[in-house]
């Protein structure tokens, strides 16, 4: 696994030929049990690396399109699964916990629930108020700039835009934005999110 | 290939299990002929992508440890090779041009020659004064921070440090630092290089 901006965070990646971007899975290494987010399949090398770092206690899935290798890794590492509360009734498999806005899975890991993406209540995860891990809604196909999921895949663009603006307003300490799809941002993350919010169209007024 | 911070720059990557970092090869797409830097082997998908973007005119190799797939790709794309002038006598294969400090291979692509790395005269390439592409000396095993090649591999640390300081002093417009090994920096590149220079030990005074 690759080191990120903090010594307790790692990722591993696969290149997606249909979008020409890397997909990433994330690992937060903690004394009380490691947490994976949207894990991709692990190579034998990375699985061994993860075992050396203490295995896995929790696996969080941000949305039902990012299940990836979550079930297989939960079985092989004896980990519990957490998914988005808004998808509880239709999720492809049962989870041990269902996360909604503000829920804290473990100390320092807080769930945000984003509206208007391709699935309801897509999760983003905030690690100690400074590192944001996103699923599908916020991404970076171009290096150094954040973008929204393309319009054709958005469930409700005005609600998606409102979610991004709320996230920017409520989380000023964000330094890193680790996007599931594309180039991670390691510094000045709040500024990049604010640039994204500014680039989005004004909210429609519904009468 | 993955898009970078400019629409005319791309990269492709492989994960190196011995160092737990990604290696990258680079492509600069130009109307007058595309340039690759330190290219890794291409998948059929990426080779096709590159052909659609116009093939390859030049391949630059920053040092003899980064020959990678340069010869094979030069043959398959009918490209010319450029290597570091300081390695001319011992390079593993002949090149069509040998680059030294200040040489311009094509308009907008300027060679820098760095001292003290594991090979003499390691090249870095400056694209239009704002994007620096590095070989081995400057790298990023940790996201968001630049580092020097580890001491054990440096040929001459004081000279390597002096090269980094000179680069920082003479190239204030650098925005992106695309490292051959590790996480690229897409914004505030000059600031990250200055942080690296500040973190390095003072130069030894030789009597």
- All domains of chain B, ordered by start, with CATH? 2-199 (3.60.15.10)
Q: How many secondary structure helices (H) and strands (E) does chain A include?
A: 4, 14
B142 with A4: Cβ contact below 8 A: yes
Separation between Cα atoms, residue B66 and residue B162, nearest integer Å: 23
The pLDDT score that the predictor gives to residue A201 is 85
pLDDT of A206 over the 70 cut: no
* Chain A residues with CB-CB distance to B12 below 8 A: 15
pLDDT of B205 over the 90 cut: no
Q: Mutation target for B interface from A4, A20, A48: give the one with most B CBs within 10 A.
A: A20
Q: Residue A170 burial (CB < 10 Å; 0-12/13-18/19+)?
A: exposed
Q: Of B21, B141, B143, which has the smallest distance from its Cβ to A184's Cβ?
A: B143
Q: Which stretches of chain A sit within 8 Å of chain B by CB? A: 1-5, 12-13, 15, 17, 20-22, 43, 45, 49, 141-145, 176, 183-184, 186-188
Q: How confident is the model at residue A42 (pLDDT cuts 50, 70, 90)?
A: very high
The pLDDT score that the predictor gives to residue B207 is 52
A145 with B3: Cβ contact below 8 A: no
Q: Of A5, A17, A43, which has the smallest distance from its Cβ to B143's Cβ?
A: A5
Q: Of A17, A43, A144, which has the smallest distance from its Cβ to B186's Cβ?
A: A144
A175 → chain B, closest CA residue: B144
Average pLDDT of the residues in A57-79: 98
Q: How confident is the model at residue B201 (pLDDT cuts 50, 70, 90)?
A: confident
Which residues does B26 contact at the CB level (< 8 Å), separation at least 6? Answer: B9, B10, B11, B36, B37, B38, B39, B133, B178
* DSSP H stretches of helix in A7-135: 44-52, 70-77
- Average pLDDT over chain A, rounded to an integer: 97
Q: Which two structure tokens, joined as six digits, stand for A129? A: 């108020």
Nearest-CA distance from B1 to chain A in Å? 6
Which residues does A149 contact at the CB level (< 8 Å), separation at least 6? Answer: A117, A118, A136, A137, A138, A139, A160
B20 with A1: Cβ contact below 8 A: yes
Q: Which two structure tokens, joined as six digits, stand for A162? A: 């409102």
Nearest-CA distance from A142 to chain B in Å? 5
Separation between Cα atoms, residue A160 and residue A139, nearest integer Å: 13
Separation between Cα atoms, residue B84 and residue B120, nearest integer Å: 8
Separation between Cα atoms, residue A194 and residue A190, nearest integer Å: 6
Q: How many CA atoms lie within 13 A of B164 on its CB side?
A: 32
A13 with B15: Cβ contact below 8 A: yes
The pLDDT score that the predictor gives to residue B204 is 62
Average pLDDT of the residues in A174-185: 98
Separation between Cα atoms, residue A174 and residue B67, nearest integer Å: 39
Neighbours of A157 (CB within 10 A): 16
Average pLDDT of the residues in B172-193: 98
pLDDT of A205 over the 60 cut: no
ipTM, two decimals: 0.95
The pLDDT score that the predictor gives to residue A202 is 80
């Amino acid at each position: 696994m690759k080191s990120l901006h903090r010594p307790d965070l790692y990722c591993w990646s696969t290149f997606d030929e249909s979008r020409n971007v890397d997909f990433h899975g994330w690992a937060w290494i903690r004394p009380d049990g490691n947490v994976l987010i949207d894990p991709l399949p692990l190579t034998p090398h990375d699985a061994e690396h993860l075992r050396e770092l203490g295995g896995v206690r929790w696996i969080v899935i941000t949305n039902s399109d990012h299940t990836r290798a979550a079930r297989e890794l939960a079985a092989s590492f004896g980990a519990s699964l957490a998914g988005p509360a808004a998808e509880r009734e239709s999720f492809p498999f049962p989870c041990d916990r269902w996360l909604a806005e503000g829920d804290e899975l473990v100390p320092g890991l807080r769930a945000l629930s984003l509206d208007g993406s391709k699935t309801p209540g897509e999760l983003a995860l905030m690690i100690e108020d400074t590192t944001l891990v996103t699923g599908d809604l916020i991404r970076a196909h171009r290096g150094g700039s954040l973008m929204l999921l393309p319009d054709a895949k958005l469930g409700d663009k005005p609600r998606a835009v409102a979610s991004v603006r709320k996230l920017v307003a409520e989380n000023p300490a964000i330094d890193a934005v680790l996007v599931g799809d594309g180039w991670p941002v390691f510094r000045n993350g709040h500024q990049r999110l604010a640039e994204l919010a500014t680039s989005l169209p004004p909210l429609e007024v519904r009468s």
